[in-house]
């Protein structure tokens, strides 16, 4: 597709460079987007601006037909509808910004429909499959206890992989049974942690204390034994798939599978849906007002009563 290649569009143009800088600040300060979402929005916008340059269309004079042409081009080169919807979301955001800045008077994206993405339900692991994956960890390796703790944390706390990699020692309140999670848009939430996860963390801490952390990395929970640095998301993706294969799990597995399994098992166990949404940090309820209406003690009790890792521990002897 022509506009996916480098074009004659001059991104160094003074006016456009200034406008994009203001848009970047708008996304950071007004929208409070995460670093990954911000990067995706800006990259998708650059693709659209490259397309406009090829078509010789001023970004302030874009019509609905231009947008349809752009989206059709994406479909022609095989872009998945889900990715197309994400790209469109970024373009809509840019034109809302232009309206706010009074660069344009009419938003051309208002009547543009999003592509139908269909409903995709991620695979869910059973408790037995999760135990099998944990059991596949080789504890003779320096990272063995770390990897067991990571699997348990993703499942017991429903963490995103980015939240896991950025977890700090100063975010752990194990005596109180909570961890503090820094989620999307820098939104913080308190998440109850199971006794099983605490046990696996403590096992990892014996090995972690022997690691010489690089300067500035001392507070991270999960470090590479060899490099003394925090783990990358790609690293976690890689060995999660490797462990699943070793355990004989044939489902499509990623770190997010454990988060989805966490929510599904809670829901099946009868946990309150609002409590589950708050635990996951979903944007639809991740506001200060809503969090203040969900009592922390009740939220913790929901998890202790309904999560498979806690049911046996809390059942009467």
Q: Among the residues of 60-190, which ranges form H helices?
A: 64-76, 81-100, 127-135, 144-157, 161-165
Q: Return the SS3 of 225.
A: coil
Q: CB of 236 within 8 A of CB of 165? A: yes
> Looking at the whole model, is its pTM more than 0.75?
no
Task: Map tokens 């592509």 to a residue.
Answer: 115
The DSSP bridge pattern shows strands 188-192 and 178-182 to be antiparallel
290 and 182 within one domain: yes
Buried b / exposed e over 25-40, threshold 16 CB at 10 Å, is ebbeeeeebbeebbeb
Beta bridge partners of 173: 178
131 and 92 within one domain: no
Full DSSP string of 263-278: HHHHHHTT--HHHHHH
Per-residue model confidence (pLDDT) at position 305? 72
Per-residue model confidence (pLDDT) at position 129? 94
The pLDDT profile of the chain, 317 residues, written as one tens digit per residue, is 444 433 434 443 667 788 888 888 888 877 777 777 788 888 888 888 888 888 888 888 888 888 888 887 777 676 777 788 888 888 888 888 888 888 888 888 887 776 665 545 567 889 999 999 999 999 999 899 999 999 999 999 989 888 999 999 999 999 999 999 988 767 788 899 999 999 999 999 999 999 999 999 999 999 998 889 999 888 898 889 899 999 999 888 888 889 888 887 877 777 676 777 777 776 643 322 322 333 454 556 666 776 777 766 555 54
188 and 46 within one domain: no
Distance CA 139, CA 206 (A): 13
276 and 241 within one domain: yes
Give catalytic residue positions.
160, 184, 256, 259, 282, 291
Task: Map tokens 């706390």 to a residue.
Answer: 157
User: 163: burial class by Cβ within 10 Å (0-12, 13-18, 19+)?
Assistant: buried
DSSP state of 229: S
168 and 29 within one domain: no
154 and 70 within one domain: no
172 and 299 within one domain: yes
228 and 168 within one domain: yes
Per-residue model confidence (pLDDT) at position 7? 40
In a domain, 258, yes or no: yes
Distance CA 306, CA 296 (A): 16
CATH number where 232 lies: 1.10.443.10
The count of residues in the chain is 317
Q: CB of 308 within 8 A of CB of 269? A: yes
Per-residue model confidence (pLDDT) at position 301? 64
Q: Which domain holds residue 47?
A: 2-100
Beta bridge partners of 59: none
258 and 201 within one domain: yes
Beta bridge partners of 191: 179
306 and 230 within one domain: yes
168 and 86 within one domain: no
User: 287: burial class by Cβ within 10 Å (0-12, 13-18, 19+)?
Assistant: exposed
In a domain, 118, yes or no: no
**What is the number of structural domains in the chain?**
2
Joined together, the tokens standing for residue 316 give 């009467």
In a domain, 111, yes or no: no
In a domain, 120, yes or no: no
- Show contacts of 224-231: CB within 8 Å, 24+ apart: 224/143, 225/142, 225/143, 225/146, 226/142, 230/165, 230/166, 231/165
Distance CA 147, CA 93 (A): 39
């Amino acid at each position: 597709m022509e506009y996916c290649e480098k074009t004659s569009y001059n991104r160094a143009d003074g006016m456009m460079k200034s406008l994009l800088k203001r848009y970047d600040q708008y996304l950071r300060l007004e929208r409070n987007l995460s670093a990954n979402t911000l990067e995706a929005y800006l990259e998708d916008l650059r693709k659209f601006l490259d397309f406009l340059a090829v078509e010789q269309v001023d970004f302030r004079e874009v019509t609905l037909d231009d947008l349809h042409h752009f989206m059709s081009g994406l479909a022609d080169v095989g872009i998945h509808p889900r990715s197309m919807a994400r790209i469109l979301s970024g373009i809509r955001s840019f034109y809302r910004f232009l309206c706010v800045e009074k660069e344009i008077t009419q938003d051309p994206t208002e009547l543009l429909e999003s592509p139908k993405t269909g409903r995709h339900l991620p695979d869910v692991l059973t408790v037995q499959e999760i135990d099998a994956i944990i059991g596949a960890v080789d504890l003779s390796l320096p990272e063995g206890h770390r990897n067991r703790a990571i699997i348990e944390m993703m499942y017991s706390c429903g963490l995103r992989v980015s939240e896991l990699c950025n977890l700090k020692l100063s975010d752990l309140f194990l005596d109180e049974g909570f961890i503090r999670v820094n989620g999307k848009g820098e939104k913080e939430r308190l998440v109850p942690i199971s006794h099983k996860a605490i046990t696996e963390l403590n096992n990892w801490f014996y090995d972690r204390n022997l690691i010489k952390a690089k300067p500035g990395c001392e507070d991270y929970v999960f470090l590479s034994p060899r490099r003394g640095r925090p783990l990358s998301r790609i690293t976690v993706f890689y060995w999660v798939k490797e462990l699943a294969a070793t355990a004989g799990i044939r489902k499509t597995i990623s770190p997010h599978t454990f988060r989805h399994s966490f929510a599904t098992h809670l829901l099946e166990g009868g946990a309150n849906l609002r409590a589950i949404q708050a635990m996951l940090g979903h944007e639809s309820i991740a506001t200060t007002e809503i969090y203040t209406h969900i009592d922390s003690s009740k939220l913790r009790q929901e998890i202790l009563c309904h999560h498979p890792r806690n049911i046996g521990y809390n059942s009467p002897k």
